[in-house]
Amino acid sequence: MAQLWGGRFTKETDQLVYRFNASISFDQKFYRQDIEGSMAHVKMLAKQGILTEEERDRILKGLQGILEDVESGKLKITDEYEDIHSFVEANLIGRIGDVGKKLHTGRSRNDQVALDMRLYTRQEVRETDELLKNLLQVLLRIMEENKETIMPGFTHLQKAQPITLAHHMGAYFEMFKRDRLRLHDIYERMNYCPLGAGALAGTTYPLDREYTAELLDFYGPMANSMDAVSDRDYLIEYLSAMSIVMMHLSRFCEEIILWNSNEYQFVEIDDAYSTGSSIMPQKKNPDIAELVRGKTGRVYGALTALLTTMKGIPLAYNKDMQEDKELPFDAMDTTKGCIALFTGMLDTITFRKDRMRDSARHGFTNATDAADYLVKRGVPFRDAHGIVGRLVLYCIDRSKALDDLTLEEYRAVSPVFEEDIYDAISLETCVDKRLTAGAPGKEAMEKEIEACRAYLKEDCPDRCPRK
């Protein structure tokens, strides 16, 4: 047991207590950030004359050696240390002797851990953003290729009106684009440095907090030292943004699972992204989509857990805050993994255009257009609605689509129908006439796709995190 705080104590810590308290099993995840933060701190101490240049260089060299050895696997992080901070400091002293004991001058583990977690999370935000960008690129490709792929659009999971696959994918494009914008917002708010806050009240050393903030690529230091050590808002915001990403992925997965079912057969998931059954030889299961849908729950869980942990904590640092790591780490790994897998699955999926079209044709998705046809010829909409309703009933009894009826059959219900009804209710017409902005009609869709393309082309769309 290697501890940083033995001086005040007369008895050894109980083994169970020690293990309950320790965080090394999970905070080793940010060993790199811990070392980088220490390097910045040491450079600042020397700049301020608190350490000599020689002391600075020896400490920096020691820290660099630890980083390299951990990275190469030569140095193992073991649980004989309480946390990653103790591990690094003990190793440093082991390597360079007493001068290593000066590293922690003017610093507390409270501002140190606040810094490490913020640096780690900032990197995660960037990586998640990049993964979402890849997903948007796949969505854009599918949109470009399917401006004329007609399918039924649903409300209440009942066929409603014909749309195109491009239009359907475009809806998800908007969702994941908003997810990125949320990440950019969070980044802008979180990118301030807690280092130099000390335990809670700053220090009596003349620290230059602007300088460390700059070295670590922050916009500046956090304004209030008590807030700096006890703020976890940025993590809660990020967990909430990840929860929304997962909610979007989960809805998409639900659709893919439905579309992949024997009943729909709108898509075929690539073999590489499907799994079989140990007993039923005919099965090809959408396990990846189901798992992504399923894992959404644990990301929500991490958000709820941290919100609950934080709600009763008085200022400033309290040990409860150590709980800000395990579940958020899991949520970050889960969300990134799900976005990457989902992107691969979507990129390789086959869309059964024939099945989609057939489904649109046989679901009376053109019934609204048949009613609109009558309205254009002077029939009040409510009457037109009734007339087409009767026609639909007539079709259902005979297992027909509206397009299959003869003109005589139409005219038996309303004499207003003419030969041009067929053209008016063809699926192509139904889609192409929908030209309001954001609708599936080809011209409207082309504009939408152009906007998506422009968004992805910009290197730094909207308020992209300054790097």
Of residues 222 through 251, those in contact with ligand ARG by CB under 6 A are none
**Nearest approach, Cβ of 190 to ligand ARG (angstroms)?**
18
b/e code 329-353 from CB counts within 10 Å (16+ = b): bbbbebbbebbebbbbbbbebebbe
**Nearest approach, Cβ of 38 to ligand ARG (angstroms)?**
14
Q: Which is nearer to ligand ARG, 23 or 164 (CB)?
A: 23
27 within 8 A of 116, measured Cβ to Cβ: yes
d(CA 103, CA 363): 72
Phi-psi region of 12 (alpha: psi -120 to 50; beta: other; left: phi over 0): beta
Using rule CB under 6 A, residue 369 touches ligand ARG: no
Catalytic annotation on 38?
no
Least Cα distance to 92 among 83, 104, 82, 80 occurs for: 104
**Nearest approach, Cβ of 333 to ligand ARG (angstroms)?**
18
x/- binding map, residues 112-131, to ligand ARG, per CB under 6 A? -x------------------
x/- binding map, residues 42-81, to ligand ARG, per CB under 6 A? ----------------------------------------
- Catalytic choice (277, 278, 359, 414): 277
**Nearest approach, Cβ of 200 to ligand ARG (angstroms)?**
10
Choices 70-78, 88-96, 231-239, 315-323 (CB under 6 A): range interacting with ligand ARG: 315-323
Among 131, 321, 388, 421, binds ligand ARG (CB under 6 A): 321
Question: What ranges in 350-466 are assigned the alpha helix state H?
Answer: 353-361, 367-376, 381-398, 407-413, 421-424, 427-432, 442-457
- Catalytic choice (156, 240, 250, 414): 156
Phi-psi region of 49 (alpha: psi -120 to 50; beta: other; left: phi over 0): left
Using rule CB under 6 A, residue 23 touches ligand ARG: yes
Choices 105-113, 307-315, 346-354, 418-426 (CB under 6 A): range interacting with ligand ARG: 105-113
Peptide bond into 228 cis (omega under 30): no
Q: Which is nearer to ligand ARG, 107 or 109 (CB)?
A: 109
d(CA 464, CA 184): 5
Among 275, 322, 426, 429, binds ligand ARG (CB under 6 A): 322
**Nearest approach, Cβ of 113 to ligand ARG (angstroms)?**
4
Choices 45-53, 123-131, 314-322, 380-388 (CB under 6 A): range interacting with ligand ARG: 314-322
Choices 29-37, 107-115, 145-153, 300-308 (CB under 6 A): range interacting with ligand ARG: 107-115
Give the other-Cβ count within 10 Å of 254's Cβ.
14
Using rule CB under 6 A, residue 332 touches ligand ARG: no
392 within 8 A of 384, measured Cβ to Cβ: no
d(CA 282, CA 462): 48
Identity of residue 156: H
Catalytic annotation on 362?
no
Q: Which is nearer to ligand ARG, 117 or 169 (CB)?
A: 117
d(CA 142, CA 144): 5
d(CA 220, CA 216): 9
Using rule CB under 6 A, residue 109 touches ligand ARG: yes
Footprint on this chain of ligand ARG (rule: CB under 6 A): 23, 27, 83, 109-110, 113, 317, 319, 321-322
Catalytic residue positions? 156, 277
